[in-house]
């Protein structure tokens, strides 16, 4: 019997209550995203969304399916009527959860005053980054969890740090690191989790003692009720921080993470601590490092303030949350003994925020395991996956979110199919934009040439890469996409597949136009169509670009190479701390 079962259930129950208090509609959406591919759940959503259902049920079904187009149409229908104006709060909450900010505001304007309207309006203000305004608005009604959680988060954003008592650790274990991450395998299969696993494996193979430690309450916070204190994945140990009772506000979580980490550092005596974005991870690590004299490094894997901004209106870039988020990230980076980041664009952003360039080392995304092996021949990969052996496939293996810009490729292919009947689109993965892409393909009349396999296992990823004629990264032009280099195109290049990418600084660090792929103006459908057609008409050139990409990755982007850079930094910060 799992001894954690009862505490886990209690902690998860409290977490559910907290999420419902903060945003019940968004919580329902997160649950739906986990189960929407299960037949019973899909049948329920389809029943809710049937033409016989009322507007509220149809809107709910559209939200649960991540079908923003239908949600907008339903809410506009509601706005044009005069029936039940107070029920607009329900629809507004659906729009807030689905990032339909303008429509949410219009719906809230239509309804009369009520506590439900105040909570929804505060939720909208909070979502758009107006933290103090949301708190002030909630203060006008009875206090509750939503207000307490907002106040706690603002306190952390405003500079509160966890407190731990100074402790003198005994002699540290040489050549060992404790790596603090947000999530990990086997419970999360994201690029983030894969990168963590690859780094730890490469360090272990270099002779270092390694262990991972995940964020407080993980993986309970993704529904893994039977989680144990430890998971072992390919000889890498991941420890779990599962305090009881657990805190669910940001300040409380950071403090519990720091308390837990302090106990582990005193027991395990690692020679260095290593953590990743965001700043809430780093605050706990900084507190323990200061208390014990243990050196620590901060790995900036993304610009999470800009990721947040990518789903908001442009004016949210001047909001309180965005400003404070950027300040806290700069704060922890300045106090780390060293900083790793993905590429030159992100390094320049760190320098602009006041980080000494001498303490920044590039640690780009890399490849290992299957991607170091000779790629599976294309026809063989397609045979294993049940794909058309004679078609020309363009596609991706990615998280399907709006800033990936995949609608540009769908539209480009729609322009080409009349003249290139063997052209196919293969979009592998899941995310908030999947249903919208499927609907777009149907609207453009090319659904029969578009394939959406959904989320796949890690073991099959290399096959999907190898099956493509061209890998696409049509990211929109935004602050986050200009700076952050994704992992998937690196894996595609290792698979000898040419990469077509938006002409953005982060992607131009990987792609040399005409050599291992092409750089194309972001969101320019015509230019994307022209470039895809060039590859169709010149397959020999495409093959040469694919081979060039693999050579580049093997020479510059392997986890073994990254491990050497990490260990050089570890030795430097350890020696400095002596």
> Measured between alpha carbons, how far is 91 from 516 in angstroms, rounded to an integer?
47
What is the reported pLDDT for 14?
Answer: 82
Residue 189 is predicted with a pLDDT of 85
In 3D space, the residue among 95, 560, 534, 13 whose CA is nearest the CA of residue 311 turns out to be 95
Which pTM does this prediction carry? 0.92
Joined together, the tokens standing for residue 234 give 């390919």
- CATH fold, domain 372-557, is Rossmann fold (3.40.50)
- pLDDT number for residue 21: 76
Q: What is the pLDDT of residues 262-301, one digit of tens each?
A: 999 999 999 999 999 999 999 999 999 999 999 999 999 9
Taking 70 as the pLDDT cut, the residues of the chain under it are 1-3, 82-86, 168-172
What average pLDDT does the structure give for the chain?
Answer: 93
CA 121 – CA 173 distance, rounded (Å): 53
Q: Is the link from the previous residue into 278 a cis peptide, with omega within 30 of 0?
A: yes
**Closest listed residue to residue 532, CA positions, set 446, 447, 397, 408:** 408
- CA-to-CA dists, residue 66 to 27, 98, 224, 401, angstroms: 14, 7, 23, 11
Whether the CB-CB separation of 283 and 153 falls below 8 Å is answered with no
Going from N- to C-terminal start, the domains of the chain cover 15-157, 176-362, 372-557
Place of tokens 């363009």: 394
The encoded tokens of residue 207 equal 């002779």
| CA distances from residue 278 to 11, 326, 494, 522 in whole angstroms, order as listed | 23, 10, 29, 28
CA dihedral 264, 265, 266, 267 (to 10 degrees): 50
- CA neighbours closer than 13 Å in the CB half-sphere of residue 181: 26
Asked whether the beta carbons of 502 and 531 are under 8 A apart, the reply is no
Residue written as token pair 């403090």: 255
Question: Could you give phi then psi for residue 394, rounded to 5 degrees?
Answer: -110, 145
Q: Please, which residues bridge with residue 427 across strands?
A: 396
CATH architecture for residues 176-362: 3-Layer(aba) Sandwich (3.40)
C-alpha angle 441-444-447 in degrees, rounded to nearest 5: 40
pLDDT computed for residue 1 by the predictor: 44
**pLDDT digits over 311-334, tens only?**
999 999 999 999 999 999 999 999
């Amino acid at each position: 019997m799992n001894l954690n079962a009862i505490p886990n259930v209690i902690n998860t129950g409290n977490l559910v209550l907290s999420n419902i208090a903060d945003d019940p509609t968004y919580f329902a959406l997160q649950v739906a995203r986990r189960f929407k591919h299960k037949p019973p759940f899909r049948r329920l959503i389809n029943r809710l969304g049937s033409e016989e259902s009322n507007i509220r049920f149809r809107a709910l079904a559209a939200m649960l399916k991540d079908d923003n187009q239908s949600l907008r149409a339903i809410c506009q229908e509601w706005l044009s009527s005069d029936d039940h104006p107070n029920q607009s709060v329900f629809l507004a909450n659906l729009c807030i959860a689905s990032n339909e900010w303008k429509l949410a505001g219009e719906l809230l304007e239509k309804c009369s005053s009520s506590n439900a309207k105040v909570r929804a309006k505060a939720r909208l203000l909070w979502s758009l980054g107006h933290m103090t305004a949301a708190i002030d608005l909630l203060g006008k009604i009875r206090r509750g969890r939503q207000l307490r959680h907002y106040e706690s988060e603002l306190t952390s954003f405003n500079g509160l740090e966890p407190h731990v008592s100074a402790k003198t650790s005994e002699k540290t274990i040489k050549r060992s690191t404790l790596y603090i991450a947000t999530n990990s395998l086997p419970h999360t299969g994201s690029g983030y989790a894969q990168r963590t696993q690859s780094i730890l494996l490469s360090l272990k193979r270099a002779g270092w003692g390694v262990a991972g430690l995940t964020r407080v309450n993980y993986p309970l916070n993704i529904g893994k009720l039977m989680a144990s204190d430890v998971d072992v994945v390919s000889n890498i140990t991941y420890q779990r921080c599962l305090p009881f009772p657990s805190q669910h506000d940001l300040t409380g979580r950071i403090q519990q993470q720091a308390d837990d980490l302090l106990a582990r550092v005193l027991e395990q005596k690692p020679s260095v601590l290593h953590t990743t974005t965001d700043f809430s991870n780093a605050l706990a690590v900084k507190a323990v490092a200061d208390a014990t004299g243990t050196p620590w490094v901060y790995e900036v894997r993304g610009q999470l303030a800009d990721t947040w901004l990518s789903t908001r209106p442009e004016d949210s870039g001047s909001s309180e949350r965005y400003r404070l988020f950027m300040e806290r990230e700069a704060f922890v980076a300045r106090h780390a003994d060293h900083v790793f980041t993905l590429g030159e664009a992100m390094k320049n952003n760190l320098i602009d925020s006041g980080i000494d360039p001498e303490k920044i080392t590039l640690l780009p995304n890399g490849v290992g395991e299957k991607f170091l092996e000779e790629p599976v021949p294309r026809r063989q990969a397609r045979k294993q996956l049940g794909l058309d052996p004679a078609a020309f496939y363009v596609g991706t293996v990615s998280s399907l979110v709006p800033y990936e810009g995949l609608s540009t490729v769908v539209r480009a292919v729609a322009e080409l199919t009349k003249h290139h009947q063997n052209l196919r689109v293969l979009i592998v993965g899941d995310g908030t934009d999947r249903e919208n892409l499927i609907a777009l393909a149907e609207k453009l009349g090319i659904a029969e040439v578009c394939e959406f396999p959904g989320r796949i296992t890690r073991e099959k990823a290399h096959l999907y890469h190898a099956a493509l004629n061209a890998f696409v990264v049509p990211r929109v032009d935004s602050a986050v996409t200009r700076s952050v280099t994704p992992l998937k195109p690196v894996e595609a290049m290792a698979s000898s597949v040419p990469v077509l990418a938006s002409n953005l600084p982060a992607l131009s660090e990987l792609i040399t136009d005409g050599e291992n792929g092409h750089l194309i103006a972001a969101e320019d459908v015509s230019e994307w169509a022209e470039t895809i057609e060039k590859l169709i008409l010149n397959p020999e050139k495409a093959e040469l670009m694919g081979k060039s990409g693999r050579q580049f990755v093997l020479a510059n982007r392997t986890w073994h190479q990254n491990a050497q850079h990490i260990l050089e930094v570890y030795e430097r910060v350890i020696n400095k701390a002596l």
